[in-house]
Structure 1
Amino acid sequence: MSSTNLEHRPTKSGRINLDSEGAEQGLAQLVLTVIELLRELVERQALRRVDGGTLTEVEIEKLGVSLMNLEVKMDELKDIFDLKDEDLNIDLGPLGNLL
């Protein structure tokens, strides 16, 4: 891990750092935050459908595998950009944290 990566780590406040030198890191944090939010929404909707009985066993299996694969890919991307789960929970000011 280079010292450059450490200098551009997201701040503890949960705010995204978009200074000119850390723009790539901040943009990666923002994009991964949006993807994580969408992943959580899809997962909740999938659970509702499973609980509602509207999916076949094959569909449930495919959905489970797809969600697991997405989680693995998200972990890989967080590693690449040196981000942790808490880095994706950005501070929305008076609205609170996103995730």
Structure 2
Amino acid sequence: MSGDADRYREVARAADRAFRLLPAGPPDVPRADRAGARPATPAHRINADPDTVERDLMKLVLTLVELLRQLMERQALHRVDTGELSEDEEERLGTTLMVLHEKMTELCGRYGLTLDDLNLDLGPLGSLLPRDEP
């Protein structure tokens, strides 16, 4: 297990070096070409904290899995509504989706996340995952 821990630390250090958040220096910031035009804001790089890189990576992976789970669930409901599935297939599909939801909740708990934490804000596009309505 020590070898795995060493490998994780090495990856975390490499990610930290590669993605350290640093403001661009004056030579990197483009100047305004026209009179009165606003100069561009400084560029930034990603800040990867070695202590949270595993949790952040799991959050990204779990977000993608949750998106796929919700899409599969919608497709399953559509197939049930159209009568494409036998009663046994509906039962198996429902059980599988419930188990997948439980596993997602379990994995989120293992990394100190909730299913709500997986919903990314996409700015003007809204949220990645549909919000539960009260």
Q: 1:53 aligns with which of 59, 83, 86?
A: 83
What amino acid does structure 1 have at the position aligned with 2:95?
A: V
Residues 12-61 of structure 1 deviation map (CA, whole Å, 9 limit, x = unaligned): xxxxx843331111101000000000000000000000000000001000
- 1:94 Cα deviation from its structure 2 partner: 3.1
The 8 Å contact of residues 32 and 88 in structure 1, kept in 2 or not, is answered as yes
Q: Which amino acid in structure 2 is aligned with residue 89 of structure 1? A: N
Give the residue type in structure 2 aligned to 1:57: E
| Aligned-residue offset at 1:97 | 1.5
Instruction: Number of aligned residue pairs: give it.
Output: 83
Question: What secondary structure does 1:35 align onto?
Answer: helix
Is 1:83 aligned to 2:113, yes or no?
yes
Q: Distance in 2 between matches of 1:96 and 1:18?
A: 25
Trace 1:55-74 onto structure 2 (pairs within 5 A). 55-74=85-104
Please say if residues 18 and 27 of structure 1, whose CA atoms lie closer than 8 Å, have aligned partners that are also in contact.
no
> Is the radius of gyration larger for structure 1 or structure 2?
2
Q: Tell me whether 37-46 or 86-95 shows the greater mean CA deviation.
A: 86-95
Measured on the aligned residues, the alpha-carbon RMSD in Å equals 1.4
Distance 1:98 1:81 in 2: 20
Q: Calculate the TM-score normalised by the size of structure 2.
A: 0.58
Deviation above 4 Å: which 4+ runs of structure 1? none
Q: Work out the percentage of aligned pairs sharing the same amino acid.
A: 57
| Structure whose residues are more often helix by fraction | 1
Q: TM-score, normalised by structure 1?
A: 0.78
Question: Helix, strand or coil for the counterpart of 1:91?
Answer: coil
1:51 aligned partner, one-letter code: D
Q: Secondary structure at the match of 1:20?
A: coil
Any gaps of 5 or more consecutive residues in structure 1?
Answer: 1-16
CA distance in 2, matches of 1:69, 1:28: 19
- The offset of 1:92, in angstroms, is 2.0
